[in-house]
Amino acid sequence: MNIKINENYDNLKESYLFSETAKRINKYSAENPDKKVIKLSIGDVTLPLTKTVIAAMHKAVDEMADKDTFRGYPPEYGYDFLREAIAGYYERHGVKIDADEVFVSDGAKSDCGNIVDILGDNDILIPDPVYPVYMDSNIMSGRNIQLLQANIDNNFLPMPDGLEKKPYIIYLCSPNNPTGAVYTKEQLAKWVGFANESGSLIIFDAAYESFINGDYPRSIYAVEGARTCAVEICSFSKMAGFTGTRCSWSVFPKELEAGGKSLKKMWERRQATKFNGVPYIIQRAAEAAISPDGYKEAMENIKYYMGNAKLISELLKEKGIWFSGGVCSPYIWLKCPNGMDSWTFFDWLLENAQVGGTPGAGFGAEGEGYFRLTAFGSRENTEEAIERLKKIL
Ligand code: PLP
């Protein structure tokens, strides 16, 4: 063909981090069929949907089977019942959001990747290490990316000190994937202050807000001034086990504008053009997940995962291995022992303990020498992995 293609794709790393880890684990399993690999790698949940969610889905399925209650295309921005339920969820956590500022989507990943559609050629600030989608989606659009180094010296929480006061698109993820680091309200207030002074936009990824344990903001809008400078992206995936069910939301406050244009209106236009909404059955399930009963059940599941995190943390403490996370996030971020680099440790762990993890280097250059383990496994598998690690670490 003679068409022009998006050459920015040439600037991407060859494969997406989680595809590469899965590829190596699958190759090892194929070559060693007698060995059981325990995956503490990709951040996928393992507990099933809870009974309140399932009951809501069954009811919605029955509605779809009846001529009088059947639904066709859903509204592009989400059914009012879910937008209102999400606004109510914020209110329960002390944050006021209007239901029409909530945009229901099929995943935080989609929104993180799609938001570039409504933004022009700005300088981009991305923490390093962090969830790779921010970086890759901006590389795909050919943006100028500046990294915000996160390391032991700043407790993996980069701050705006020293940044030039010019408009940026700033990605923040708190609690952070992969490090588990969480911003305090004072720290977020500094970011919000910087964004408002410099005319920047913060894209705040709160996908792990439901894991917060302690006095940390669960939403950027808990910070005064955030409505004029921040979009928030959040998800049912980790909160309620929706990784395979697919439902999330983004918040675009009415006050957000650039060049006299409302970002909320632009997002409405973008979604109405390129997205046909989340299925009714799924939106009913999501509504149930944040109902009082559904949320209680979700919290029980999170408690279970955090029990795994505690076991992994105890092992690392016992072995004298530096780590963070595991308190407000389902991830444990550890320093690879004996000075190993991230991928060497990955291969070593797979070879010697048949335990899969995620190399820190895959989340950014500052992640080199670190490694991420997740608490999303079953208790049984986590315990078995710990027994194996005890012998080799
Ligand atoms: N944001 C962060 C920080 C994540 O870690 C993930 C998934 O791992 C997502 C977004 C994607 O969430 P979703 O399943 O809603 O697409």
pLDDT per residue over 92-129, tens digit each? 999 999 999 999 999 999 999 999 999 999 999 999 99
Amino acid at 330: P
H helix or E strand, kind and range, residue 103: strand 102-105
The number of the ligand 1 atom at minimal distance from the alpha carbon of 42 is 8
Question: Does the beta carbon of 243 lie inside 6 Å of ligand 1?
Answer: yes
Inter-helix orientation angle 342-353/17-31, to 10°: 30
The residue whose C-alpha atom lies closest to atom 12 belonging to ligand 1 is 108
Question: Does the beta carbon of 111 lie inside 6 Å of ligand 1?
Answer: no
- Residue 131: per-residue pLDDT: 95
Question: Does the beta carbon of 235 lie inside 6 Å of ligand 1?
Answer: yes
> Mean pLDDT in the chain?
96
Compute the distance from residue 207 Cα to the ligand 1 centre, in Å.
6
Q: How many other β-carbons are positioned within 10 Å of the β-carbon of residue 282?
A: 22
Q: Which string of DSSP letters, residue by residue, matches 44-96?
A: ---SPPPHHHHHHHHHHHHHHTSTTT---SPPTT--HHHHHHHHHHHHHTT--
Task: Determine the 3-state secondary structure of 232 from DSSP.
Answer: strand
Question: Does the beta carbon of 248 lie inside 6 Å of ligand 1?
Answer: yes
- 54 has pLDDT over 90: yes
- Residue 16: per-residue pLDDT: 73
Please state the rounded mean pLDDT for residues 119-143.
97
Distance CA 103, CA 251 (A): 6
Please state the rounded mean pLDDT for residues 160-183.
97
- 356 has pLDDT over 80: yes
- Residue 41: per-residue pLDDT: 86
- 12 has pLDDT over 90: yes
Please state the rounded mean pLDDT for residues 228-242.
98
Question: Does the beta carbon of 109 lie inside 6 Å of ligand 1?
Answer: yes
Question: Which residues have C-beta within 8 Å of that of residue 357, sequence separation ≥ 6?
Answer: 40, 41, 345, 346, 349, 371, 372, 373
Distance CA 226, CA 203 (A): 11
Q: How many other β-carbons are positioned within 10 Å of the β-carbon of residue 332?
A: 28
- Residue 370: per-residue pLDDT: 98
pLDDT band at 193 (very low <50, low <70, confident <90, very high): very high
H helix or E strand, kind and range, residue 237: helix 237-240
pLDDT tens, position by position, 293-317: 999 999 999 999 999 999 999 999 9
pLDDT tens, position by position, 236-288: 999 999 999 999 999 999 999 999 999 999 999 999 999 999 999 999 999 99
The number of the ligand 1 atom at minimal distance from the alpha carbon of 108 is 15
Which of 208, 212, 235 best tests ligand 1's pocket when mutated (most atoms within 8 Å of CB)? 235
Percentage of residues of the chain with pLDDT beyond 70 = 100
Inter-helix orientation angle 51-64/292-319, to 10°: 140
- Residue 13: per-residue pLDDT: 86
Which of 18, 103, 105, 109 best tests ligand 1's pocket when mutated (most atoms within 8 Å of CB)? 109
Burial of 44 (0-12, 13-18, 19+ CB in 10 A): middle
- Residue 26: per-residue pLDDT: 94
